[in-house]
Amino acid sequence: MLKKNLILRNSLRLIGQRTEDIPPEGGFGAVLARAGVGKTAFLVQLALNSQLSNKNVLHISLNDPAQKVSLWYEEVFRNIAAQYNINKTNHLWEAVLKHRFIMTFKVDGFSVPKLEERLAELTEQNIFSPHMVIIDGLPFDNSVHTPLTDLKILAKNHGLHIWFAIRTHRHEEPGTGGIPAQLENVDDLFEVVILLQPKEGEIHLKVLKGRSSSSGYSELLLDPSSMLIKDKG
């Protein structure tokens, strides 16, 4: 019952879609922000919500060691527990932990064939079979189109949806439709694009692509103190 209540309270539902549907299987989602604004915290909340729904999450970090990524999950989980006044969390934490696997690569050592090889090892040995993948640290430069295209094929073949954390820079001007420069040439590969924008002491979540047209949409924020997603209202 506690897990169900946390899933139902998930603020991302306020963008008008079920969280597990954004993006759909085979789809890409992107969260973009400048360094230190909250990309990882945002994605960890998506991951935890999937884990609460008994969905397996593969978190791939190209910059940070597995221990640091694990600490992110623990901190966000503690903040969620505090927000909802959950005192006994050990059992719940153990329940969600079994649905997460952290994989690390060096940036220059990452490739889609290597990822596919490691995925095959995990699934064929019944170690871990992901439903959702997070990739944090992939450089979105002029050479990113080919690996993204290959990842799209991988996602469709394995029934995955993949979220990317993408770093933006203050001096860059957005492209057509407000899409950040990093996605200018690969925008067609993404079903969901969310921009985190610091403004007057708040961090606004701006849905650039993928919001449902259904009514009742509420603006979302990241709480700067807890880095948790909340409804502005």
Q: How many domains would you assign to the chain?
A: 1
Confidence band for 178, pLDDT divided at 50, 70 and 90: confident
**59 vs 70: CA distance, rounded Å:** 10
Please check whether residue 187 is in contact with residue 26, taking contact to mean a CB–CB distance below 8 angstroms: no
Q: What is the pTM of this model?
A: 0.91
At 12 the pLDDT is 59
Q: Which residues contact 16 (CB under 8 A, 6 or more apart)?
A: 211, 212, 213, 214, 215, 216, 217
Q: Whole domain around residue 189: which residue ranges?
A: 2-231
Say which DSSP state 12 is in.
G
Query: In this predicted structure, which of 116-120, 144-148, 167-171 has the lowest mean pLDDT?
Result: 167-171
At 8 the pLDDT is 45
At 18 the pLDDT is 54
DSSP reduced 3-state for 180? coil
Confidence band for 231, pLDDT divided at 50, 70 and 90: confident
* Residue % of the chain over a pLDDT of 90: 58
The pLDDT of residue 57 is above 70: yes
Confidence band for 60, pLDDT divided at 50, 70 and 90: very high
- Give the CATH number of the domain where residue 134 resides: 3.40.50.300
Residue in the block written with tokens 């997460």: 100
Output the furthest CA–CA distance in the chain (Å, rounded): 50
Confidence band for 217, pLDDT divided at 50, 70 and 90: low
The amino acid at 69:
V
The mean predicted confidence, pLDDT, of the chain is 86
Question: How much is the average pLDDT of 135-154?
Answer: 95
**162 vs 184: CA distance, rounded Å:** 19
At 214 the pLDDT is 47
